[in-house]
């Protein structure tokens, strides 16, 4: 728990200034309240440690209040960390002396422009909320894999952005059509056409765009300020204005729209699968597309059964061998004729590549349960059922073939740690894969599940993280590094010393160092002592081989 | 030359090619609806029942699958699947199939 010095980290005077900025009832430094923010076991490699407790929490209700708050925080030598809807440790302080700026009072959808297909919203608007409102006017929003309770604005401006609907609705950062941005000094910057008083229709320009600075690889996670409004591109929804649903998760019963098909496809081998997926994307068939191992589906729906199935031989071989190569997709259409065309194209692709399509839409009770779990990405929480915790190993978005290589590698690394008892056995093949924009590029995360009460699992987390990172580096891929200040320091020299550029950007926007930049540009050393010597050696060799010199990239 | 997958994939592919999967999915859905009506269970109850399967039951199924290689190869035959597909076009056989499947599932759920 916190030391007395830390508990007194905010002075009465500084606290009074926070109260003046947002009204006393919207500020707290009560330990119990602060600990409710510090309890963030996900993406925290030591759940016993919690995350660093903020010195206070403040809840602004408007852009003006955010400005006043940020200025008060800067004046008092504190730092801020924004929290929209939160997702694990990513929204938490990374150092002492941080005020958690909880944006939950900023929860309005300000406008849905039906004609131009975008919405203007505040940080606490979640995916489910925007989707429900959008569907009423025939529109839909991209929802990230973390689920429908997550902030649309946060994933578009400041964090990750992948989800099952990426095939049709792209990646969060690419849907950003303008933003209102409170800089670390409290000034407001409006991006895109909004900055010229021309409304929200374009997120870039005039002149050079700042989108790259806002987003970088994954966003600055509040390290460059606080986004208070954003315009988000919306997409066509050909279904009904409301999908009537009762229940949740495995208990859900939804009315299935007429022109919707939910299909699982299987292919004889990897090559056929990959070629078929390229064809499916080229043909623009999908509204939802994912590739997840069959074992993964079993492990999240029936985690106890999975523990027994891992002891089997024939069933295991069937799941990880015979039925290994597959994908799941949802097709929607504006008319029965369009759906018939799409079904025909899918059948033709299945014929061409020797595949099998299981149309689950015909199995009514199954599709009623699955529909919103996929369409709204509601199923995600069940991945925590098996062990209580999970984490992921990803490289950066890349071509589908490359991502399949990553999935294969991930399976091998996972199997090694399953055999050692470092993580739970989910039959190893558990990639979370999507494709983007009906195109040839995609995303792959290798999910692994663990029990945070098991000391062996906790001890394995860091070595696994390092091993996955090494595998990415050796393949010239970018590992999951943006949020880890230690790994950023290691990989930066191999990626054009990008952290030095981020430090310059941070220095320009944040001269008084008011933002908590631990997940953006404050790098620290990585103690690799817990890592096996041969992995350490390989890492050192890779660093030597791939590091940039003053003359540019290595030969 | 057509690429061969594993035996279970080949059964699935053959069933798909001959329309058995499409017809079978509808029957399976009707059977599950029947189970829910008869037992008062919802989908999550059924999934949870499956999740509670004993090790003995699962291992028995594993052994059955391990020994059923020749049967699976026969089941993957396009001729057999084409015949099955035609049989599933007969209304009375469809109803019988749903009834048998429902009975089996009810037995499994209430065991």
| Nearest beta carbon to residue A309 from set B7, B16, B58 | B58
Q: Using the beta-carbon criterion (under 8 Å), do A354 and B26 form an inter-chain contact? A: no
Question: Which of A317, A356, A429 should one mutate to test binding to chain B, selecting the residue with the greatest count of B CBs within 10 A?
Answer: A356
Q: What is the pLDDT of residue A40?
A: 87
Asked if the C-beta of A347 comes within 8 angstroms of chain B's C-beta atoms, the answer is no
If one compares A489 and A44, the residue with the highest pLDDT of the two is A489
Q: How far apart are CA A554 and CA A502, in angstroms?
A: 21
pLDDT, average across residues A222-229: 97
Establish if B102 belongs to a structural domain.
yes
Rg, Å, chain B Cα set: 16
Q: What is the pLDDT of residue A95?
A: 92
Residues spanned by the domain of B43? 7-110
Establish if B2 belongs to a structural domain.
no
Contacts of B12 in chain A (CB under 8 A): 266, 323, 356, 358
Establish if B68 belongs to a structural domain.
yes
Q: Using the beta-carbon criterion (under 8 Å), do B32 and A365 form an inter-chain contact? A: yes
What confidence category does residue B110 fall into, taking pLDDT thresholds of 50, 70 and 90?
A: confident
Highest mean pLDDT among A429-433, B28-32, B107-111: B28-32
pLDDT tens column, A408-443: 999 999 999 999 999 999 999 989 999 999 988 999
pLDDT, average across residues B30-42: 94
Q: Considering only alpha carbons, which residue of chain A is nearest residue B55?
A: A308
If one compares A41 and A25, the residue with the highest pLDDT of the two is A25
Q: How far apart are CA A317 and CA A325, in angstroms?
A: 13
Q: What is the pLDDT of residue A307?
A: 93
Q: Considering only alpha carbons, which residue of chain A is nearest residue B29?
A: A363
Distances (CA, A) of A251 to A118, A148, A248, A301, A331: 32, 17, 5, 11, 23
Contacts of B59 in chain A (CB under 8 A): 308, 311-312
Q: Considering only alpha carbons, which residue of chain B is nearest residue A323?
A: B9
Question: Which of A250, A351, A352, A371 should one mutate to test binding to chain B, selecting the residue with the greatest count of B CBs within 10 A?
Answer: A250
For A433, other C-beta atoms within 10 Å of its C-beta total: 23
- What distance in Å separates residue B55's CA from the closest CA in chain A? 6
What confidence category does residue B1 fall into, taking pLDDT thresholds of 50, 70 and 90?
A: low
**pLDDT at residue A5 tops 70:** no
Q: How far apart are CA A479 and CA A409, in angstroms?
A: 13
pLDDT tens column, A364-408: 999 999 999 999 999 888 888 898 899 999 888 899 999 999 999
Q: What is the pLDDT of residue A551?
A: 87
Cβ contacts below 8 Å, chain A against chain B, sum to 124
- What distance in Å separates residue B7's CA from the closest CA in chain A? 7
Asked if the interface predicted TM-score (ipTM) of this complex is over 0.90, the answer is: yes
Q: Using the beta-carbon criterion (under 8 Å), do A363 and B25 form an inter-chain contact? A: yes
Asked if the C-beta of A344 comes within 8 angstroms of chain B's C-beta atoms, the answer is no
Contacts of A346 in chain B (CB under 8 A): none
Establish if B36 belongs to a structural domain.
yes
Q: What is the pLDDT of residue A46?
A: 67
Q: What is the pLDDT of residue A35?
A: 93
Q: What is the pLDDT of residue A216?
A: 82
pLDDT tens column, B47-58: 999 999 999 999
**pLDDT at residue A310 tops 90:** yes
Q: What is the pLDDT of residue A47?
A: 62
What confidence category does residue A4 fall into, taking pLDDT thresholds of 50, 70 and 90?
A: very low
Q: Using the beta-carbon criterion (under 8 Å), do A251 and B42 form an inter-chain contact? A: yes
Q: Using the beta-carbon criterion (under 8 Å), do B25 and A362 form an inter-chain contact? A: yes
Asked if the C-beta of A253 comes within 8 angstroms of chain B's C-beta atoms, the answer is yes
pLDDT, average across residues A449-466: 92
Q: Considering only alpha carbons, which residue of chain A is nearest residue B1?
A: A354
Q: Using the beta-carbon criterion (under 8 Å), do B32 and A362 form an inter-chain contact? A: no
| CATH numbers and ranges of domains, chain A | 4-102 (3.30.43.10), 109-236 (3.30.465.10)
Q: How far apart are CA A340 and CA A358, in angstroms?
A: 16
Q: How far apart are CA A199 and CA A232, in angstroms?
A: 13
What confidence category does residue A541 fall into, taking pLDDT thresholds of 50, 70 and 90?
A: very high
Q: Considering only alpha carbons, which residue of chain B is nearest residue A352?
A: B2
Asked if the C-beta of A309 comes within 8 angstroms of chain B's C-beta atoms, the answer is yes
Contacts of A269 in chain B (CB under 8 A): 3, 5
Q: What is the pLDDT of residue A50?
A: 84
The strand pairing partners of A141, in sequence order, are none
- What distance in Å separates residue B68's CA from the closest CA in chain A? 10
- The strand pair at A27-28 and A56-58 is best described as antiparallel
Contacts of A276 in chain B (CB under 8 A): none
- Which residues are CB-neighbours of A537 under 8 A, at least 6 positions away? none
For A477, other C-beta atoms within 10 Å of its C-beta total: 18
Backbone angles phi, psi at A236, to 5 degrees: -65, 135
If one compares A300 and A129, the residue with the highest pLDDT of the two is A129
- What distance in Å separates residue B47's CA from the closest CA in chain A? 7
Contacts of A313 in chain B (CB under 8 A): 62, 66
Structure tokens at A193: 């056409």
Q: What is the pLDDT of residue A1?
A: 41
| Nearest beta carbon to residue B43 from set A268, A312, A369 | A369
Q: How many domains does chain B have?
A: 1
Q: How far apart are CA A291 and CA A327, in angstroms?
A: 4
Establish if B71 belongs to a structural domain.
yes
Q: Considering only alpha carbons, which residue of chain B is nearest residue A299?
A: B51
For A554, other C-beta atoms within 10 Å of its C-beta total: 11
Among the listed ranges A164-168, A199-203, A229-233, A235-239, which one has the minimum average pLDDT value?
A199-203
Structure tokens at B43: 């989908």
**pLDDT at residue A550 tops 90:** no
| Nearest beta carbon to residue A318 from set B17, B51, B65 | B65
**pLDDT at residue A215 tops 90:** no
Q: What is the pLDDT of residue A3?
A: 46
Q: Using the beta-carbon criterion (under 8 Å), do B15 and A266 form an inter-chain contact? A: no
The strand pairing partners of A260, in sequence order, are A332
Q: What is the pLDDT of residue A2?
A: 44
Asked if the C-beta of A360 comes within 8 angstroms of chain B's C-beta atoms, the answer is yes
| Dihedral over Cα of A536, A538, A544, A546: its sign | negative
Q: Using the beta-carbon criterion (under 8 Å), do B47 and A312 form an inter-chain contact? A: no
Q: What is the mean pLDDT of chain A?
A: 93
Q: Using the beta-carbon criterion (under 8 Å), do A312 and B58 form an inter-chain contact? A: yes
pLDDT tens column, B4-26: 889 999 999 999 999 999 999 99
Establish if B1 belongs to a structural domain.
no
Among the listed ranges A59-73, A126-140, A158-172, A197-211, which one has the minimum average pLDDT value?
A197-211
Residue written as token pair 């891992």: A310
Q: What is the pLDDT of residue A36?
A: 93
């Amino acid at each position: 728990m916190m030391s007395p010095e830390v508990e007194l980290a905010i002075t009465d005077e500084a606290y009074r200034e926070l109260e003046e900025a947002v009204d006393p009832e919207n500020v707290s430094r009560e330990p119990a309240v602060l600990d409710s923010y510090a309890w963030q076991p996900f993406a925290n490699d030591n759940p016993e440690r919690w995350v660093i407790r903020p010195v206070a929490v403040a809840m602004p209700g408007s852009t003006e209040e955010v400005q006043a708050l940020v200025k008060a925080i800067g004046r008092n030598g504190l730092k801020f960390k924004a929290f929209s809807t939160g997702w694990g440790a990513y929204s938490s302080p990374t150092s002492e002396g941080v005020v958690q700026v909880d944006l939950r009072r900023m929860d309005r959808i300000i406008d849905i422009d039906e004609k131009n297909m975008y919405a203007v919203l505040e940080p606490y608007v979640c995916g489910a909320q925007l989707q429900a409102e959008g569907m009423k006017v025939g529109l839909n929003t991209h929802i990230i894999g973390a689920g429908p309770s997550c902030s649309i604005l946060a994933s578009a401006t400041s964090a990750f952005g992948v989800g099952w609907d990426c095939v049709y609705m792209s990646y969060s950062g690419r849907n950003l059509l303008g933003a209102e941005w409170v800089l670390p000094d409290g000034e407001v910057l409006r991006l895109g056409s909004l900055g010229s008083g021309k409304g929200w229709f374009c997120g870039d320009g005039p002149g050079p765009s700042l989108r790259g600075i806002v987003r970088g690889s994954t966003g600055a996670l509040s390290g460059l300020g606080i986004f208070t409004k954003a315009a988000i591109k919306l997409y066509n929804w050909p279904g009904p204005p409301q999908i009537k649903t009762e229940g949740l998760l495995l208990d859900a019963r939804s009315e299935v729209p007429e022109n919707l098909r939910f299909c699982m496809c299987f292919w004889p081998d990897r090559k056929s699968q990959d070629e078929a997926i390229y064809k499916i994307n080229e043909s623009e068939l999908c509204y939802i597309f994912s590739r997840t191992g069959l074992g993964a589906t079993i492990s999240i729906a029936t985690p106890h059964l999975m523990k027994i199935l891992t002891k089997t031989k024939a069933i295991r071989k069937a799941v990880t061998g015979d039925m290994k190569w597959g994908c799941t997709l949802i097709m929607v259409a504006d008319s029965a004729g369009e759906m018939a065309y799409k079904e025909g194209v899918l059948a033709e692709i299945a014929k061409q590549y020797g595949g099998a399509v299981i149309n689950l839409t015909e199995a009514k009770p199954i599709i009623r349960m699955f529909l919103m779990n996929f369409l709204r990405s509601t199923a995600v929480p069940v991945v925590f059922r098996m062990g209580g915790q999970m984490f992921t190993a990803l490289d950066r978005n890349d071509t589908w073939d490359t991502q399949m290589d990553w999935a294969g590698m991930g399976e091998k690394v996972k199997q090694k740690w399953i055999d050692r008892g470092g993580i739970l056995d989910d039959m190893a093949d558990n990639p979370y894969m999507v494709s983007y924009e009906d195109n040839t590029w995609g995303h792959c995360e290798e999910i692994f599940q663990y029990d945070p009460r098991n000391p062996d699992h906790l001890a394995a987390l860091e070595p696994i993280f390092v091993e996955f990172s090494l595998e990415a580096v050796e393949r010239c891929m970018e590992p999951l590094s943006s949020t880890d200040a230690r790994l950023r320091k290691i990989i930066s020299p191999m990626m054009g010393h990008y952290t030095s550029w981020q430090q310059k950007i941070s220095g320009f926007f944040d001269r008084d160092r008011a933002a908590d930049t631990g997940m953006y540009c404050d790098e620290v050393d990585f103690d690799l002592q817990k890592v096996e010597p041969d992995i350490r050696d390989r890492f050192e060799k890779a660093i030597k081989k791939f590091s940039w010199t003053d003359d540019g990239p290595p030969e | 030359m057509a690429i061969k997958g594993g035996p279970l994939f080949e059964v699935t592919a053959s069933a798909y090619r001959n329309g058995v999967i499409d017809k079978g999915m509808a029957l399976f859905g009707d059977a599950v609806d029947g189970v829910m009506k008869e037992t008062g269970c919802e989908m999550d109850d059924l999934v949870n029942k499956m999740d509670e399967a004993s090790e003995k039951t699962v291992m028995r199924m594993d052994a059955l699958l391990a020994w059923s290689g020749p049967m699976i190869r026969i089941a993957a035959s396009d001729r057999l699947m084409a015949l099955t597909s035609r049989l599933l076009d007969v209304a009375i056989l469809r109803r019988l199939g749903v009834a048998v499947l429902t009975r089996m599932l009810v037995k499994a759920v209430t065991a």
